[in-house]
């Protein structure tokens, strides 16, 4: 039986596509160097973790076409500030926006890059994490000054993430990686490799010196200083936990686990006036990702697959109220992702929670119960 020329061409085309696909998978797999990690069993969403619809009353503050209010800060006049980028997938350019009490959105600062963590110091300078510059200070006129772009050992702050400030003016901040720059591909790489990188740092504005407090963190993210400045919390996103670093007392200079085995990817953390904390989550945990973490070879193969075949973060709103001892007081959900698709940060102001998001085109506004 003769095979037609058209069939031959089709077979050749299929073979070429398969060859290219296999080559791409092998190439991408080769670029990943993962380690085996056995996550703790995923907690059941019951008891204090039981799902609810509390976040279904959340409103939205539109950002006029900008995306990614990863963190939110409030000045002494009650205006909101956030860093944004130009589209859901393009993080190469950015601004710092200001939202006044009437909801009017304006550009406070043309940062030219995505600014993530934000916190005002006692002089109303906006201390922030800038993906291009590192730790920066923005004055009230929007002028940027770089405070630190590397640690005391010369390791670059390639993904500076979040920041908080103690009463004595010492700035505490995280850097997710000193090996790769920010991109969706690199974030996925850091999660899949499950290797320590980056850290928790302090910056003294008087001496202008950086000090490494915790070296080699696992996707170090949100930061919050305790009410009495006796410890600072840091979110280890890739390990589903919060680490505590002691600043005072007999444990000064040591670290321990504040809260472990969380049901999602913890992101931003902030302190309330009463000393308790708000914790926001990017999304819930992915069972398939947990299952492949102990298997480096499988992780390499999955990483090499086209993006549409890899695990995806689903829209899932979740945040927690935590005591200053690490106990979960209350959990808030939007399991549909319709009202709150992510909560990368939680900022409380005048009876409302303002929730951020890495790719959201808005800030979520939730009214607290009295």
pLDDT interval class at 25 (50, 70, 90): low
> Is the pTM of the predicted complex or chain greater than 0.85?
yes
What is the number of alpha carbons within 13 Å of residue 188 lying toward its C-beta? 20
Would 232 be classed as within a structural domain? Answer: yes
Would 23 be classed as within a structural domain? Answer: no
Would 233 be classed as within a structural domain? Answer: yes
- Number of domains, the chain: 1
Enumerate residues 6+ apart whose C-beta is below 8 A from 104: none
Would 234 be classed as within a structural domain? Answer: yes
Would 4 be classed as within a structural domain? Answer: no
pLDDT interval class at 15 (50, 70, 90): very low
Would 319 be classed as within a structural domain? Answer: yes
User: Tell me, what CATH number does 252's domain have?
Assistant: 2.120.10.30
pLDDT tens digits along 355-364: 999 999 999 9
* pLDDT higher than threshold 60 for residue 18: no
* pLDDT given at position 239: 96
Q: What percent of the chain has pLDDT over 90?
A: 81
* pLDDT higher than threshold 50 for residue 20: no
Q: What is the mean pLDDT of residues 109-130?
A: 96
Would 17 be classed as within a structural domain? Answer: no
Range of the domain at 210: 31-367
Q: How far apart are CA 97 and CA 83, in angstroms?
A: 6
Would 24 be classed as within a structural domain? Answer: no
Q: How far apart are CA 69 and CA 82, in angstroms?
A: 5
């Amino acid at each position: 039986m003769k095979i037609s020329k058209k069939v031959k061409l089709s077979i050749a085309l299929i073979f070429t596509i398969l060859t290219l696909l296999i080559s791409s998978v092998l190439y991408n797999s080769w670029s990943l160097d993962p380690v085996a990690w056995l996550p703790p069993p995923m907690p059941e969403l019951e008891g204090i973790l039981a799902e609810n619809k509390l976040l279904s009353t959340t409103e939205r503050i539109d950002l006029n076409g900008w995306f990614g209010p990863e963190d939110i800060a409030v000045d002494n006049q009650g205006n909101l500030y956030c860093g944004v980028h130009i589209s859901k997938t393009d993080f190469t350019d950015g601004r710092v926006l200001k939202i006044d009490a009437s909801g009017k959105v304006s550009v406070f600062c043309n940062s030219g890059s995505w600014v993530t963590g934000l916190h005002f110091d006692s002089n109303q300078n906006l201390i922030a994490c800038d993906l291009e510059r590192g730790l920066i200070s923005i004055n009230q006129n929007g002028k940027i000054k770089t405070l630190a772009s590397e640690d005391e050992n010369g390791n670059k702050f390639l993904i500076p993430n979040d920041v908080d400030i103690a009463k004595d003016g010492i700035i505490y901040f995280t850097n997710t990686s000193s090996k790769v720059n920010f991109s969706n591909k690199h974030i996925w790489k850091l999660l899949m490799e499950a290797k320590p990188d980056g850290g928790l740092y302090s910056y003294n504005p008087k001496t202008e010196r950086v000090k490494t407090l915790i070296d080699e963190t696992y996707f170090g993210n949100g930061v919050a200083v305790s009410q009495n400045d006796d410890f600072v919390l840091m979110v280890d996103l890739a390990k589903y936990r919060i680490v505590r670093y002691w600043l005072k007392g007999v444990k000064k200079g040591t670290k321990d686990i504040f809260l472990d085995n969380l049901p999602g990817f913890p992101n931003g953390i902030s302190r309330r006036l009463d000393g308790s904390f708000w914790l926001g989550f990017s999304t819930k945990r992915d069972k398939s990702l947990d299952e492949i973490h102990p298997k480096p070879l499988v992780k390499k193969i999955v990483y090499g697959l086209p993006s549409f075949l890899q695990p995806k973060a689903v829209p899932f709103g979740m945040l927690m109220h935590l005591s200053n001892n690490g106990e979960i007081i209350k959990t808030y959900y939007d399991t549909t992702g319709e009202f709150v698709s992510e909560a990368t940060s939680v900022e409380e102001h005048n009876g409302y929670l303002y929730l951020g998001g890495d790719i959201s085109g808005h800030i979520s506004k939730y009214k607290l119960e009295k």
